[in-house]
Structure 1
């Protein structure tokens, strides 16, 4: 009865290029295909005979959402990787400055002094190592967290 009522009225859509129909609700795993009768399709496209008519499936919506999610994860991963690269460069520059030959030569000259002075130097080196470790412990932990974040993003993208 409703088809007969529609067929006597002009289509509200004139000069359409494309008409897409999306499901009102969708569930993951739902694979039912929606069929629209020829009468309803003709009614909708009556004033637009050259228009394309597409029914979007639930599966297509899920695929599109997954693609958007993957794209967002990749963007987040890219930011994490850029941050990690900057941290590595900063660490590398700092380490190169500390390990410059002139620093080592000065230390070696000091170490060649008398035994008592050498003992003081050993204590100084131990203190230097301990200070170095204390200074780098936090960045190492942060880098480990960054690496874990990167791995998590990669696993999320793989899903």
Structure 2
């Protein structure tokens, strides 16, 4: 290799990343490149910049992408939940006008409470995952996510309140129907 000219005549930037998988390597292990290899790669491009990416930088890049993806996933989940709640509220409004089997409506309420608990668990788990990744980021990277994460937490709070409100409304509606049923029994 040292007897041949470098094929990279117009190289502007050379960035070397660690070869081994991040999970297999100790955090402070350094990446090494022989002077011969470096010279061969840069020989025909003397003005090129050379950067050796550290494992810490690589971990930060990986965690940054992971944080971005987790935030996108949670944002999509929240949007889906908001849309689902709006649809459910409209259905509840329509169902309030029709006669309903009291036993069935209480079973439906139980199902809705379980679904609400599952959704809350998923949301909390996603927030914990995002928070864990953000705490592992260098302070400068973390600072870029902080406003977005704060907004996401506020959106999460709103969605959780809507889920709870929807369940409360269903409880209130079931209580109203039950009271009407008892009133009918008392008048007949």
Q: Same fold (TM over 0.5)?
A: yes
Query: Would you say 1:84 and 2:57 are equivalent positions?
Result: no
Distance 1:43 1:59 in 2: 27
**SS of the counterpart of 1:54?**
strand
Distance 1:74 1:48 in 2: 41
Contact 1:13/1:45 (<8 A) preserved: yes
Structure 2 counterpart of 1:24, from 19, 23, 26? 19
**SS of the counterpart of 2:50?**
strand
Query: Would you say 1:131 and 2:96 are equivalent positions?
Result: no
Structure 2 counterpart of 1:41, from 35, 38, 56? 38
**SS of the counterpart of 1:12?**
coil
Query: Would you say 1:157 and 2:152 are equivalent positions?
Result: no
Structure 1, unaligned runs of 5 or more: 104-123
**SS of the counterpart of 1:53?**
strand
Work out which of the two has the higher radius of gyration on C-alpha atoms and give 1 or 2. Answer: 1
More deviation in 149-158 or 67-76?
Answer: 67-76
Structure 1 counterpart of 2:119, from 117, 125, 146? 146
How far apart are 1:44 and its partner, in Å? 2.2
Change (3 A) 1:87 1:143: farther
Change (3 A) 1:42 1:28: closer
How far apart are 1:17 and its partner, in Å? 1.5
The corresponding residue for 1:115 is: none
Please list every run of at least 4 consecutive aligned residues from structure 1 whose deviation after the TM superposition is greater than 6 angstroms. none
The corresponding residue for 1:117 is: none
